[in-house]
Amino acid sequence: MSNRQLRLWPAVAVVLVAGCVTVPSNIVPVGKDTYQLSMTGVGFATQANTNVKALKTAGDYCDKLGKHLVMQRNTESGVYGWSPRQSNLTFLCLDANDPDYTHKVQASVTVSN
């Protein structure tokens, strides 16, 4: 391999990594214990990858508040390889003893049994 080819490898690595980047928005309060964020996946990030990163960001935010994440809804947009994928997530951060949280936890346990 020539010196010129060796010098190109860092640039190639940056392009490959940048192809899977996701960019979060600020988390915005939209109601009592309710928040919204948008996560945009650029390049070759998949919709699933963008959604997971949005959920992780929301979970980390609720953890910092000492609360638990409850997802309300997620809307998706974008076409893989054509336009950026976007996940618009609305979520709640609730205390463990909040009646809405305990109700949702009990409902999910009942559904999964």
41 Cβ contact partners less than 8 Å away, ≥ 6 residues apart = 20, 21, 22, 23, 47, 49, 50, 53, 78, 84, 85, 86, 87
Give the Cα separation of 85 and 97 in Å (integer): 36
Predicted local confidence at residue 70, as pLDDT: 94
Predicted local confidence at residue 12, as pLDDT: 40
| Choice between 17 and 3, residue whose per-residue pLDDT is larger | 3
Predicted local confidence at residue 1, as pLDDT: 58
Least-confidence region, from 59-63, 79-83, 85-89: 79-83
Least-confidence region, from 4-8, 45-49, 94-98, 99-103: 4-8
